[in-house]
Structure 1
Amino acid sequence: MRRVLVTGMGIISAIGENLSENHASLRQGKTGISNATHFESRYAALLPFGECECSNERLIALLNLQDSRGYTRTDLLASKAFAEAIEDAKLSQEQISSFDTALISATTVGGMCLTDQLYEDANLKTSGSEYLEAYSCAAHTIKLLENYKIRGFSDTINTACSSSANAILMGARLIRSGRAKRVIVGGVDSLAKYTVNGFNSLKILSSKACKPFDENRDGLNLGEAAAYLVLEAEDVVGEKKVYAEVAGYGNANDAHHPSAMSDEATGAIRSMREAVESSGISFDRIDYINAHGTGTPNNDEVELFGMSRLFYKIPPFNSTKSYTGHTLGAAGAVEAIFSILSIVHDEIFASLHVETPMSTHSARPVAALVSDKKLNYALSNSFGFGGNCTSLVFGRIK
């Protein structure tokens, strides 16, 4: 079976507009959660968000777009991270357009980030805006396909917060099965009234910077980001730089509740078990876990419970959502990149804002930067609404 290697990465988030800026912020323990300046909502003045500093105008300039008509913020963020990833992997136009190259992207809100404009168009209060083709879940994917002349298999996944983790899983399976030589995978989500109002109705948005795995955690912060990884089959990589291997993956659904995980962590346990077992290693060889860690009472309790059932001793873990906020459909790819950075640089980044550790478990998230620990395998968890749970194992290149 073919090995799946990561040869390129691109990201824009609340802690940086590229890979190096994100890494620097993680090392410095610098959170991106603060007041929003670009997002227009009554909640912008009331709640903290993980908003990307780049304005739409700056994104257009960075992308050198000659015609940005019809581009939503979702499209712009996706285009920025995608461009960095393929440049990092040194993909030629011939390789990008090859039928052996696939694109699998992910999002939850897609073009509905323009919630008010969507309402106006849908209710015929306009004569038809420039965004009529931008509202679908796949709109940003279609723009990437057209702009880069991608002709291979493509798909857009929406499984809530596990969306881009499932894009990585699907891309790895395509390569392992011989259906593709390379797959560009990832996801994007931008802040939107649609999601902010929805999450607020669930009463799970915190009025302060989120503190995953803290005894007094009271909710999450929504964020926005885009992240893409270039996956390639080992036999086509040659002498190219390689970050890590996608060593294993697992997906399960506990079918318990539309927005909460089961107390027994049924889906979480199964997805973690499948990911580790499919990588061909034992649980004691996982050196680090990038937890889903939203900061909600339900998620953090259930996730720790699940880890305690699988590991004799829970490995060092953190929640990088304390830096970026919860970026929904982009979260799996964002945290995959952060996990790979940990492996490449032998680092585990501090889990921020924890003041009082949870009383129900003895395991504690990493409190300060660890910069001298060799990591061979990292487990990254992404758990979505409806109980869709996905776990990925990344391995050091030997």
Structure 2
Amino acid sequence: MSRILVTGMGVVSAIGSNVAENRQSLINGICGITRLEGFQSRFAGLMPFGEIKKNNSGLAAKYNLTKPGITRPCLLGLMAMKEMLDDAGLDEKILRSRSTAFINATTVGGMCLTDELYHDANAADTGSPYLGAYDNADTTLFLREYFGIGGVVNSINTACSSSANAIAFGAALIKTGRADRVIAGGVDCLAKFTINGFNSLHILSNELCRPFDESRKGLNLGEAAAYVVLESEDVAQNKKSYATLTGYCNANDAFHPSSLSDTGVGPYNAMHGALQKASLSPGDIGYINAHGTGTENNDLVESVAMQRLFENQPAFSSTKGNTGHTLGAAGSLESIFSILCLTNQEIYPALQFENKIPETGLIPNREYRKYVIEHVMTNSFGFGGNCTSLIFSRS
């Protein structure tokens, strides 16, 4: 069976407008989590967020978009996908082919415009241009139409594991012959809807998040768009390749709507299943980009699951200390960060970490360093116990 290669990447996050900028920020230990500037919220001055400092009107003007009702996820997704397509060398003919699929992930979608929709509903008889954006597939359909993608198109919303599942689903399409190449990833933006929702769960921190730290207080929400091109090795032929997607597994412990089980059943099964898919042993993994949200439940449970699986703990860290938790974009964003570790043989420092969790004693990597890696794992664990692990290997 032909290998699945990563032949293109594109990203925008709070620490950079492209892949190169994101990598440099990771190397330098840059934290993009700041005070909210893009819209008014009662929490704007109380909590930090991983905000992309680009306004919607400026992005729309950049791409000559004048149609009303285009949401911020559409604009951020457009920005990241343009970089990815240029990087992979995919032209219009290839995009329109029925063998090119697009799997997109988002959790917020057009719900970021709840205020506009409410205002329109009370101020006009003609309806609102933002109404259609409430369909979770709206961002997917916008990007498909903009780029003219001709193959299988689908939207995935499994909370924080959404774009990791988009990548895994894309791999399955290639393996089963339903596509030769797949554009996979996700996008989410900051919005009152999610800020208020996460605050009601009492898991937002009023300080910079501290993944895997004893004194962690919660997560910082962020926004990002990140996409990769997956191609069958038979199709990619002599194209450059960043990595090979060798393992992927989705597991669900169905323990609680917003918490993982104390024993880490879902995370363990996801990591173990990805290793089996890749025909690797735990000792083969050189680095783990952990889910690492900075919440009390996740970081302890993920630590327990890692210790259960790995006799010798690989180097690990969470890049959410740089970008915040980007929800539906987290899986693909952190996949790109993991691939950067692999291709450049380096690992990045965990930010804000000071003291280990007493129950497990694990210490994330705390400095930038060159590091020999053959296989990296990235974890994405969503609400409802939806857990996904991906493994990328050197091509």
Distance 2:236 2:40 in 1: 44
Kept in 1: contact 2:121–2:127 (CA 8 A): no
Distance 1:311 1:51 in 2: 35
**Normalising to structure 1: TM-score of the pair?**
0.97
Letter in 2 for 1:31: C
TM-aligned CA deviation for residue 125 of structure 1: 6.0
Distance 1:61 1:122 in 2: 26
Kept in 1: contact 2:223–2:326 (CA 8 A): yes
Kept in 1: contact 2:14–2:52 (CA 8 A): yes
Letter in 2 for 1:104: I
Distance 2:124 2:205 in 1: 35
Kept in 1: contact 2:9–2:227 (CA 8 A): yes
1:1-398 alignment, distance < 5 Å? 1-62=1-62, 64-121=63-120, 127-371=126-370, 373-397=371-395
Distance 1:326 1:175 in 2: 29
Q: Which runs of 5+ in 1 are unaligned?
A: none
Figure out how many residues of one structure are paired with residues of the other and give that number: 395
Distance 1:310 1:355 in 2: 25
222-231 or 146-155, larger mean C-alpha shift? 146-155
TM-aligned CA deviation for residue 159 of structure 1: 0.2
Distance 2:237 2:163 in 1: 27
Kept in 2: contact 1:120–1:126 (CA 8 A): no
Aligned residues with identical type, % of pairs? 54
Distance 2:280 2:125 in 1: 57
Secondary structure of 1:134's counterpart equals helix
TM-aligned CA deviation for residue 272 of structure 1: 0.4
Kept in 2: contact 1:112–1:118 (CA 8 A): no
Distance 1:17 1:165, change over 3 A: same
Distance 1:67 1:124, change over 3 A: closer
Letter in 2 for 1:23: R
Distance 1:236 1:248 in 2: 20
**Structure 1 runs of 4+ with >6 Å offset:** none
Q: Which runs of 5+ in 2 are unaligned?
A: none
Letter in 1 for 2:246: A
Distance 1:354 1:234 in 2: 40
Residues 147-171 of structure 1, C-alpha deviations (whole Å, 9 max, x = no match): 1111210000000000000000000
**Normalising to structure 2: TM-score of the pair?**
0.98
Kept in 2: contact 1:260–1:299 (CA 8 A): yes
Residues 316-371 of structure 1, C-alpha deviations (whole Å, 9 max, x = no match): 00000000000000000000000000001111110100112211123210011112
Residues 292-313 of structure 1, C-alpha deviations (whole Å, 9 max, x = no match): 0000000000000000000001
Secondary structure of 1:104's counterpart equals strand
Residues 92-121 of structure 1, C-alpha deviations (whole Å, 9 max, x = no match): 111111000000000001010112123335
Letter in 2 for 1:195: T
Kept in 2: contact 1:39–1:191 (CA 8 A): no
Secondary structure of 1:46's counterpart equals coil
